Amino acid sequence: MTARWRVVMKLAALAALVLCLLMFSVPTVDFVYTGF
């Protein structure tokens, strides 16, 4: 895989993840490890 192709793949993966987050994420999750 060439460097340019690898970057394209990573950009596509990033776009897909951001799209999933925009569509399905639940933004009100508590962080449970900050101190119980």
**What does the CA dihedral 35, 32, 13, 25 come to, rounded to 10 degrees?**
-130
Give the shortest CB-30-to-other proteins separation in angstroms: 6
12: contact with other proteins by CB under 8 A: no
Among 1, 2, 5, 25, contact with other proteins (rule: CB under 8 A): 25
State the Cα–Cα distance between residues 21 and 7, nearest whole angstrom. 21
Structure tokens given for 10 = 């990573």
Using rule CB under 8 A, residue 5 touches other proteins: no
Task: Provide the binding-site residues for other proteins, judged by CB under 8 A.
Answer: 3, 6-7, 10-11, 13-14, 17-18, 20-21, 24-36
